[in-house]
Structure 1
Amino acid sequence: MLSRVMPSNVEIKASVSDRALFAEKAAQLSQSEGTIIRQHDTFFNCSQGRLKLRDFMNESGQLIFYERPDTDGPKLSRYSISPTSDPSSLRAVLSDALGVKGEVRKERRLFLIGQTRVHLDTVEGLGHYMELEVVMRPEQTVEEGQQVAEDLMEKLGVSKESLVTGAYMDLLLKGHKET
């Protein structure tokens, strides 16, 4: 079997106390108002990493497998993605085969700043969060990606204290409520 290098990104997730202020800073840095994306993620049981089906609620979706350590601060995430034009039937098949671990519904506002995707998320049952995804170029080191993320965190006014570990799914399973 041929092994292939999975694409990777450096991610940071943090809670956001002032959604309007964060949106204003992100809009200034990206020179755009951002794009609103509705997402319904279904997580399936799997033996390693995470497997989720992302439904964009418009007859399109993505099956996403990823591996990422659950630690504070910038972390490297490796992933593979397959698009689908029928997320509901794929959800049914995967639910039957693997079982559902849980679901996350969110409204995401996406800003593009350099090589970084900045997400301002409102997550059902959790509240407001931001995610930075530094899309790594092949020649970049993890450290360079982390530096990009940390610089942007500073520009966006994200404090180290607001950093969050794990995925929204983990937070929902742990029973975190809106603060």
Structure 2
Amino acid sequence: MRNEYTPVEVEVKIPVCSLEDTIKRLEQDGFCLAGTCREEDVYYNSAHYDLREHDKALRIRRVTDLDTGKTRAEFNCKGPKLDQVSVSRMELEMHLETPEILERILEELTFLPVPCAVRKTRFTYTRGRVTVAVDRVEGLGNYLELEIIGQGEEQRPACLKEIEAVMKELGYEQKDTIRTSYLSMLQKKEEGEVQKK
């Protein structure tokens, strides 16, 4: 049950042509590099509860820090998108010591991995409470994600306004954003390639 303290991930996503130019602009605007990592996201779904149909997501993410070589895992549950202009949604997250055990639990409950895994290299920048991820996504290209984690739905409009101000600083407008997840883009791409064969 959602309450006023449920974290809400307020986020916009923008396709970009050049990672190098994007990173240079972020650094010029006072953003600091917080880390570089390699992420692999495996999403789960079930015949008895189709998460895609409900615009929800369940995933296990493995993160390798490219500076230290250390790997960690986390479990995420995302709710439906909350508006028509961003990819803001409720997000619950926990760190995993033994992701293999959770994989077995999900399998026992008939939640199975979907065919597409999302693999990307992520450069994370921060300024104040705004986090910017510059992503190189395998099979899709380069993207910019601007995010603020708000505590409760009532904070979403203010968070979105702050993100839109940062977008403007970086030379982007609302019309440049997309609302489709990396997983959905990969699935559509794969479906298109299958139809061509």
Give TM-score scaled by structure 1 length: 0.85
With over 3 angstroms needed to count, the CA separation of the structure-2 counterparts of 1:111 and 1:93, relative to structure 1, is: same
With over 3 angstroms needed to count, the CA separation of the structure-2 counterparts of 1:3 and 1:73, relative to structure 1, is: closer
Question: Which residues of structure 2 form unaligned runs of 5+?
Answer: 65-69, 193-197
> Is 2:6–2:152's contact at 8 Å kept on the other side of the alignment?
no
Cα offset, 1:82, TM superposition: 1.3
SS at structure 2 position matched to 1:141: helix
Cα offset, 1:84, TM superposition: 0.5
Map of 1:92-171 to 2, 5 A cutoff? 92-95=104-107, 97-101=110-114, 102-137=116-151, 141-171=155-185
> Is 1:29–1:113's contact at 8 Å kept on the other side of the alignment?
no
Q: Which residue of 1 aligns with 2:195?
A: none
Report Cα offsets for 1:37-74 as digits up to 9, x if no partner: 11100000053421010111444211000113286633
SS at structure 2 position matched to 1:25: helix
Q: How many residues align?
A: 176
More moved, 30-39 vs 4-13: 30-39
Give TM-score scaled by structure 2 length: 0.78
> Is 1:110–1:117's contact at 8 Å kept on the other side of the alignment?
yes
Alpha carbon RMSD of aligned pairs, Å? 2.6
Question: Which residues of structure 1 form unaligned runs of 5+?
Answer: none
Letter in 2 for 1:74: S
Larger radius of gyration: 2
1:7 and 1:33 map into 2 onto residues whose CA distance is 24
With over 3 angstroms needed to count, the CA separation of the structure-2 counterparts of 1:148 and 1:45, relative to structure 1, is: same
| Percentage of matched positions with identical amino acids | 22
